[in-house]
Amino acid sequence: MNGRDRREAAYGREQDREADAHEHADHPPHALQSIERQAGTHEHDHPPHMAEPIGREAAGRRANDPGSSQNCSGAGALAVHELACAVGRRVVVSDVTFFIEPGETIGIVGPNGTGKTTLLRALAGVRRPVRGRVTVDGKVLHEMSARRRARTVAMVAQDEQPSADLRAGEVVALGLTPYLPPWGAGSPREREAVEQALTTVDLAGFADRPVHRLSGGERQRVLLARALVQDTPVLLLDEPTNHLDITHRLELLTLTRTLRRTVVMALHDLALADRYCDRILVLHKGAAHPLNPPAAALAPEVVDEVFGVRALRVPHPETGVPHLLITPRS
């Protein structure tokens, strides 16, 4: 079995498993990255930025000037209106309303069980909300076709496990599926995009590495590379720093601030959310606080009430930049 056949077979098995595991979802998670190839479908536009550098080499998004994030022509405006999300019959978060400017990096934080993943899945179109709507650039996400949605939103799920039958490059190439005609994989252009994405996440030369031989952190970066080649206006990341060592954790979060797209990510580490996000959404007791800059969203009284810990902003001894220091209650 050649690489393309192996990838197609593994994709089909993953779709079957995801459909069984997520019977309440509109589409399995991989439908966002890998659209079913339907007979007679000939939408095969190339991703809008395929000819341009991605990742760290992309011009546009800022590393040091947060204000420039709103000048990203490839990013999408994400609007949420009176959204309510449920797991089974239990509504876990409701009345969520916010607007995200194109190019912003947004953090979602909250204690375990407050609905961070559920909300992200609704923003991705994977789970249909109980009520409310999500729009990207004014278009209702849940009314889009699967292929159109896959060109609009990419998601890297928490603890996602790619099929062990695949090589790293084949996993990344799944992100190009929404732009390809049926059975149209394997071109030099695709291979170039895959290699570029792997280089962006510090995995140059890993294209032929079997997935089962990757560490947890390497798998996480392969999945991020898949989302990068998908090249959508909106990128959703659920606990993206899981399994990463400290070097790659900081590099990944720095990378999110150089992408010409809107990034929304759920994070457990409040200090990292404070440092790398333009604004932060705090989930607590079934509701969402207003979407605010980090200093307001993670004010000491908010952190104390929501997380039961103390928060103090202290200047870095060398740079003077304020950092959030978290300590137990005394």
Domain range summary for the chain, segments of one domain joined by +: 3-298, 300-330
CA-closest candidate to residue 231, choices 175, 181, 158 = 175
pLDDT category, 5, cuts 50, 70, 90? low
pLDDT at 192 over 50: yes
Query: How far from the centroid of its chain's Cα atoms is residue 312's Cα?
Result: 29
Taking only Cα atoms into account, the Rg of the chain, rounded to an integer number of angstroms, comes to: 19
From CA 143, how far away is CA 129, in angstroms rounded? 12
Query: Of all residues in the chain, what percent carry a pLDDT higher than 70?
Result: 76
Q: What is the structure's pLDDT at 85?
A: 95
Comparing 86 with 33, the larger pLDDT belongs to 86
pLDDT at 121 over 90: yes
Average pLDDT over residues 273-278: 96
**Beta-carbon count within 10 A of 3 CB:** 15
CATH of 3-298, one of 1.10.10.10, 3.40.630.30, 3.40.50.300, 3.20.20.70: 3.40.50.300
pLDDT (tens digit, 9 = 90+) per residue, 207-262?
999 999 999 889 999 999 999 999 999 999 999 998 899 999 999 999 999 888 99
pLDDT at 108 over 60: yes
From CA 113, how far away is CA 260, in angstroms rounded? 31
Q: What is the structure's pLDDT at 161?
A: 87
pLDDT at 150 over 60: yes
From CA 247, how far away is CA 253, in angstroms rounded? 10
